């Protein structure tokens, strides 16, 4: 292992270690179009079926705090939160971009999953509000943080495992982040992830959302997602 690789590995362990035990029990805002809080089947009443299996991510959240679902991002909705997960959201309005930026700079800790080519096969028809956002449209807020989300359309469809912050993380047709030379951001895994100190806050972003798919044959998703949460929520 090179000196540079060792330094990155130690830095990743530091981020993850600092996150465990930090702010336990505080609410965690969740702003997403992914079927985490509801069933991924279109049938009416599917959430009420006795055999319905909750999304595994709910347990990962519960180990760290209660989920506070968000439909909009406004100063009043964000005011009581210090931790936030935004996973494949709908496009943000201008006021929401301002509110999110102000919240992070004021000390908020954000885990952002922004997938430029979502591979989750949606069960919901076009127009159904439960249908996940197919493409992350976040250029305005990323631009505020001097980041760009890029996508290589020559990639081959198929899930692979990539090392992100020292954790094996499943990805499928991922994008990559590019920074604009700012010293407050660090790219990981060739831009698959980025960590930024913004004002008093922190952003940890992953250019893929496959880690939050329900299916988990390899058993790696909960550990990878937990590590991303801990990295984002670590005390500065």
Residue-wise pLDDT tens digits, 108-141:
999 999 999 999 876 666 666 678 899 999 999 9
Residue 47 lies in a domain: no
The interaxial angle of helices 3-19 and 221-233, nearest 10 deg, is 80
Residue-wise pLDDT tens digits, 170-213:
999 999 999 999 999 999 999 999 999 999 999 999 999 999 99
By the 8 A CB rule, do 178 and 219 touch? Answer: no
Distance CA 152, CA 40 (A): 28
Residue 48 lies in a domain: no
CA torsion sign for 208, 161, 230, 16 is negative
DSSP-assigned letter for residue 219:
S
* Number of domain units in the chain: 1
Residue 198 lies in a domain: yes
Residue 152 lies in a domain: yes
Per-residue model confidence (pLDDT) at position 172: 97
> CATH code at 184?
3.40.50
Domain membership of residue 111 as a residue range: 3-42+53-233
Distance CA 179, CA 142 (A): 10
Residue 42 CA to chain centroid, in angstroms?
A: 24
Q: What does pLDDT average to over the chain?
A: 86
Q: Is 178 helix (H, G, I), strand (E, B) or coil?
A: strand
Per-residue model confidence (pLDDT) at position 235: 79
Residue 113 lies in a domain: yes
Residue 185 lies in a domain: yes
Distance CA 5, CA 101 (A): 32
Only one residue has tokens 């943000």, namely: 92
Residue-wise pLDDT tens digits, 137-178:
999 999 999 999 999 999 999 999 999 999 999 999 999 999
Give the closest residue to 114 by CA, choosing from 197, 24, 208: 208
Computed on alpha carbons and rounded to an integer, the radius of gyration of the chain in Å comes to 17
- Residue 170 is inside which H or E element, if any? strand 167-171
pTM (2 d.p.): 0.85
Kindly indicate the confidence band of residue 39, based on its pLDDT and cuts at 50, 70 and 90: low
Residue 21 pLDDT > 70: no
Burial (CB count <10 Å: 0-12, 13-18, 19+), residue 179: middle
Residue 219 lies in a domain: yes
Residue 201 lies in a domain: yes
- Residue 232 is inside which H or E element, if any? helix 221-233
């Amino acid at each position: 292992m090179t000196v540079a690789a060792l330094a990155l590995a130690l830095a990743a362990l530091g981020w993850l270690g600092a996150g465990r035990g930090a702010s336990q029990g505080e609410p965690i805002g969740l702003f997403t179009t992914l079927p985490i809080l509801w069933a991924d089947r279109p049938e009416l009443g599917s959430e009420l079926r006795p055999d319905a299996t909750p999304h595994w991510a709910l347990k990962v959240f519960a180990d760290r705090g209660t989920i506070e679902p968000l439909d909009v991002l406004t100063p009043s909705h964000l005011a009581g939160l210090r931790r936030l997960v935004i996973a494949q959201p709908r496009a943000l309005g201008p006021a929401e971009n301002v509110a999110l930026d102000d919240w992070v700079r004021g000390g908020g800790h954000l885990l952002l999953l922004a997938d430029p080519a979502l591979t989750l096969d949606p069960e919901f028809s076009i127009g159904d509000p439960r249908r996940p956002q197919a493409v992350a449209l976040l250029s305005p807020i990323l631009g505020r943080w001097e980041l760009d989300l890029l996508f290589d359309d020559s990639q081959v469809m198929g899930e692979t495992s990539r090392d992100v912050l020292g954790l094996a993380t499943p990805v499928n047709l991922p994008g990559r982040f590019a920074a604009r030379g700012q010293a407050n951001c660090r790219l990981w895994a060739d831009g698959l992830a980025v960590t930024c100190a913004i004002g008093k806050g922190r952003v940890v972003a992953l250019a893929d959302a496959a880690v939050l798919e329900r299916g988990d044959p390899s058993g790696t998703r909960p550990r990878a997602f937990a590590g991303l949460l801990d990295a984002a929520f670590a005390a500065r």
